[in-house]
């Protein structure tokens, strides 16, 4: 309408001018069409969502962040997209704020405003990542009370790179600092309904200082990520060979006895996340999370690595029959899981290496299992029988200190594997 009117006005001037005005109008229309097309294309690509940190921060802390993942329409970007991005962005330095700008102490205080007690949520919410625009209009619960809205796909209080702290305060100070964490190491947002219910399972023995350091770094990050989470520490009793895989299987079984979880993050006690955009949510495909570790100069040692920190949905973990139980001592159990994943037609996904970064705490290396390559080679014929299917253990102690749920477990070695 506006265009037609202005042409008519132009039409009563001189023909020479009219020709020019038409040209200008055609250019404007073409430019508008191009703009519209481009913005649509950006939406469809949806790899990066640019957003500004919560304005409740002091002005000097306002930063614009780029997040890889699922935000608004960005939700339609799959993890595979992210994985593709990781190749092109591995060395990108365009992202986020510097670690020095977000201290551990600041993170701890930002928890206070962003999270508290558990919320209810159906297990189908694991698929919420595929449908992030589906939300919020129908917030009435069965009894008529008003439920909070579904949390945004991109948590609004993320800070990007974080300064890892390797010297946590003593336990009681830490318990006081994390006022929003509930007994047993549970956290969830109060302002919205979490999209994911996530169990964090930490296989453990003999490294209490490492555990404290991990908790000090992990709780604030998980709270900012608006997850409904619980940390389970599964400790192996005795002094025999450590069996990391079996402890993770026990964590899976015991966590599900407490309540339904959409997914599991299996977390070595010595790895500290360096960026809170490394979201601990439920992956469409099994996700290897500790992509870039300082000890390996932030390079992935090999493409099938699934050790360190990894995430799987409850269904996928069940589908692969959990981890193998035959790997006593260091090494091989994660490679066997990678084989299980592939055998089921799944694949390992990853966030970009400039986000999925960790610092490793130093410790004495465990004795490697001399039979690990042999077991790896023969693994395929045990996939159905060795794992959750033949897991045997005894819970010696179960406790709920403030910051985690703790199991002391006696593992029963499975019958001699073939
Ligand atoms: C491989 C191990 C994996 C282990 C990875 C990284 O060699 O279990 O190193 O280990 N595989 C075998 O030994 C067959 S790390 O240096 O991070 O402890 O996860």
Confidence of residue 366 (pLDDT cuts 50, 70, 90): confident
Distance between CA atoms of residues 279 and 288, nearest Å = 12
If you average pLDDT over every residue of the chain, what do you get? 77
**pLDDT value for 23:** 75
The finding on whether 331 has its CB within 6 A of some atom of ligand 1 is: yes
Q: Is the pLDDT of residue 142 over 80?
A: no
Phi-psi region of 264 (alpha: psi -120 to 50; beta: other; left: phi over 0): beta
Pocket test for ligand 1, best of 334, 339, 367 (most atoms within 8 A of CB): 334
Q: Which of 76, 27, 26, 19 is nearest to 47 (CA)?
A: 76
Q: Is the pLDDT of residue 368 over 80?
A: yes
From the CA of 76, how far away is ligand 1's center (Å)?
A: 34
Pocket test for ligand 1, best of 242, 300, 305 (most atoms within 8 A of CB): 305
Distance between CA atoms of residues 277 and 66, nearest Å = 9
Q: Name the burial class of residue 257, with classes exposed (0-12), middle (13-18) and buried (19+) by CB atoms within 10 angstroms of its CB.
A: exposed
pTM, two decimals, is 0.72
Q: Is the pLDDT of residue 137 over 90?
A: no
**pLDDT value for 24:** 65
**pLDDT value for 141:** 56
Give me the half-sphere count of Cα atoms (radius 13 Å) on the Cβ side of residue 252.
28
Tell me the per-residue pLDDT of 149-184, one tens digit each, with 9 for 90 and over.
999 999 999 999 999 999 999 999 999 999 999 999
Distance between CA atoms of residues 110 and 124, nearest Å = 30
Helix (H) or strand (E) holding 375: helix 372-378
Confidence of residue 57 (pLDDT cuts 50, 70, 90): very low
- Taking residues 298-307, report their average pLDDT: 98
Q: Which of 47, 59, 67 is nearest to 225 (CA)?
A: 67
Rounded to 5 degrees, φ, ψ at 321 are: 65, 30
Atom of ligand 1 nearest to the CA of 307: 19
The finding on whether 307 has its CB within 6 A of some atom of ligand 1 is: yes
Tell me the per-residue pLDDT of 17-55, one tens digit each, with 9 for 90 and over.
566 666 767 657 676 665 554 443 333 333 233 222 332
């Amino acid at each position: 309408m506006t265009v037609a009117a202005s042409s008519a006005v132009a039409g009563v001037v001189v023909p020479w001018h009219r020709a020019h005005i038409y040209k200008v109008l055609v250019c404007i229309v073409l430019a508008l069409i191009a703009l519209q097309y481009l913005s649509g294309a950006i939406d469809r690509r949806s790899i990066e969502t640019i957003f500004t940190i919560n304005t409740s921060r002091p002005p000097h802390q306002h930063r614009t962040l780029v997040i890889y993942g699922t935000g608004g329409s960005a939700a339609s970007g799959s993890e595979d997209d992210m994985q593709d991005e990781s190749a092109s962005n591995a060395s990108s330095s365009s992202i986020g704020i510097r670690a020095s700008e977000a201290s551990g102490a600041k993170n701890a205080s930002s928890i206070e405003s962003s999270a508290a007690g558990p919320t209810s949520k159906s297990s189908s919410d694991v698929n919420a990542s595929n449908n992030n625009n589906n939300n919020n209009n129908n917030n009435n619960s069965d009894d008529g009370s008003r439920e909070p809205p579904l949390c945004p796909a991109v948590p609004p209080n993320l800070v990007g790179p974080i300064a890892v702290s390797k010297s946590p305060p003593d336990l009681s100070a830490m318990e006081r600092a994390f006022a929003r964490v509930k007994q047993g190491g549970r956290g969830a947002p109060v302002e919205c309904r979490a999209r994911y219910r996530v169990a964090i399972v930490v296989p453990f023995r003999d490294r209490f200082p490492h555990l404290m350091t991990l908790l000090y770094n992990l709780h604030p990050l998980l709270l900012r990520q608006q997850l409904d989470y619980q940390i389970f520490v599964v400790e192996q009793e005795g002094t025999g060979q450590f069996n990391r895989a079996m402890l993770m299987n026990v964590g899976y079984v015991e966590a599900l006895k407490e309540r339904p979880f959409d997914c599991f993050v299996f977390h070595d006690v010595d790895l500290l996340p360096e960026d809170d955009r490394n979201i601990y949510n439920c992956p469409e495909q099994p996700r290897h999370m500790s992509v870039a570790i300082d000890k390996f100069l932030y390079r992935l040692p090999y493409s099938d690595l699934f050790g360190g920190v990894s995430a799987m949905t409850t269904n996928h973990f069940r589908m692969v029959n959990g981890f193998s139980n035959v790997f006593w001592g260091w090494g091989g159990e994660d490679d066997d899981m990678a084989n299980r994943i592939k055998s089921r037609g799944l694949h390992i996904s990853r966030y970009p290496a400039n986000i999925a970064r960790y610092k490793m705490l130093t410790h004495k290396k465990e004795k490697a299992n001399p039979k690990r390559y042999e077991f790896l080679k023969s693994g395929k014929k045990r996939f159905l029988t060795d794992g959750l299917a033949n897991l045997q253990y005894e819970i010696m102690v179960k406790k709920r200190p403030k910051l985690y749920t703790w199991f002391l477990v006696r593992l029963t070695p499975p019958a001699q594997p073939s």
